[in-house]
Every structure is written in C-alpha cells, then in structure tokens.
Amino acid sequence: MRWMHWLPGAVLFTAPLALAQTPAAASPRSFTANLVTIFKGGKESSTRQRIAVRGDMMHFRSGDEPMGILLDFGQEKVWMLIPQEKMAIESKLTRSLNFPLSLVLTDASGNPCGKEPTLTCTREGEEPISGRPTVKWRIVHTSKDKKTRTETAWVDPKLGTVVRHATEDGGAMELRDLQEGPVEEALVQFPAGFVTVDEKNLRHEDEPKPAPKPKKKDTAPGKKP
C-alpha cells in the first residue's frame, strides 16, 4: 500500500473490571477521537487527525484534506477516498507495523496482531494510561529474512481499540479526547457514487508481462549472416 502514510501507534484504557471482558461485549463500539502523532524526542505533530469508529468500520481524516481513509476490519478492506474524482482506491487490509491504522481496532480477543502470520503479540500485563486501564502488548514483526522489529501497543479492552502505539525509536501514536457515543452511519459508510479502483490496477500488477525478445544468433567473424 504505497499510498498509505506511516503513522505511529495509539492507546486507551478501561476500568479494571472491564479488563476481563471481550471488546464491545455489551454493544458495538462507537466513538470518535483525535489521533495524535508524537515524533522521536516528544514533539507532537500540529496536523489535526480524527477517527470515527462504528463497529468494525473506521474513518480517518487528516487536517483539512478533503480525502480520507476508510477501513473495514470485518471485511479486511481499506479505501483511500478521493472526493474530487469520486474515486476510492481499494486495497486488502493487512495488519502491519508500517501502517499503524491497520492495528487500531482488534477482534474479540483483544489481540492487536489478529491472525497476521508475520506478527506475534505477547500480553505484558495491565497499565493505566490517561486515567483508563489498558492491556499492554508487545508486538514483534518477523520479516522473510528473519529480521525482527518490536513495538508496543496498549489496548482498551472495552472498546477493542489500540489507544497508544509506541515505536522502538521513541515515536508514538495516541488517541485523545475519545468520545464514546453514537456515530453517524454516513461517516463510516462507503460513499455513494464513488467508483472503486483496485490498487493493483494502478500499479499495473494485473497486466501480463511482455514476452522476452528473441536472442540474436551469433555469427562467425568475417561471415555474413
């Protein structure tokens, strides 16, 4: 997903009793929050970023940009929305440390890795953040060449949501000003009238490769072919 922008992680909390519950056990999660990017050294991004969540659907918007990103964690799809062209670039939603938005919502287990084979999540206890209890997880990514990368996520078990995500170099992503309550369905629905374009087609991955040119036959010196 080359069009995706890297964002650090995020974190939330819940009451101690809620830590034993599955995410959104009583009712589907529904909330809005500010997403704050924290750079190495502690400086925070001045760009305003917002998310809206309803069930397994999440809408992300950065600054005053008209476009946004819509993620469907149930169907494992993600779309970059381009309103000017009424186009939505579709990709498969794969949980990845390179795309922290893909880790924000968890399944009923509360494990931020889900079933992604390249990620291993280990529960490291409970830790309150910003006055809310969370479950702390260590996330290890193993590449094809067996190199590993470790980051940390804090999950609010009530909402099944990563509210803080910290990287090895000191960067982080946090959810702040989280407001639980009804979210308009239109905010997290695929917009009517938009045309879906598969990202693979944009990169021409589905086009057949051109046939190799035939090799020229060698001719002996002084002889004409």
CA distance 73 to 163: 16
* H helix runs in the chain, sequence order: 199-202
Question: How far is C-alpha 98 from the chain's CA centre?
Answer: 8
Residue with more model confidence, 66 or 53? 53
Cβ-contact 19, 44 below 8 angstroms: no
pLDDT value for 23? 44
pLDDT value for 37? 95
Opening angle at CA 105, ends 102 and 111, nearest 5: 100
113 pLDDT higher than 70: yes
CA distance 75 to 56: 9
Helix (H) or strand (E) holding 77: strand 77-82
**What's the pLDDT tens digit per position in 188-208?**
999 899 999 999 887 655 555
Mean pLDDT of the chain: 83
Written as one letter, the residue type at 195 is V
Mention every residue, 6+ apart, whose C-beta is less than 8 A from residue 74.
55, 56, 57
**What's the pLDDT tens digit per position in 22-46?**
444 446 899 999 999 999 989 999 9
- For the chain, the domains span 9-18+28-201
Tokens (6 digits) for 157: 């078990």
Cβ-contact 183, 52 below 8 angstroms: yes
Tokens (6 digits) for 99: 């795309």
List strand residue ranges (DSSP E) for 143-194, in order: 148-156, 161-166, 172-180
Architecture of domain 9-18+28-201: Clam (2.50)
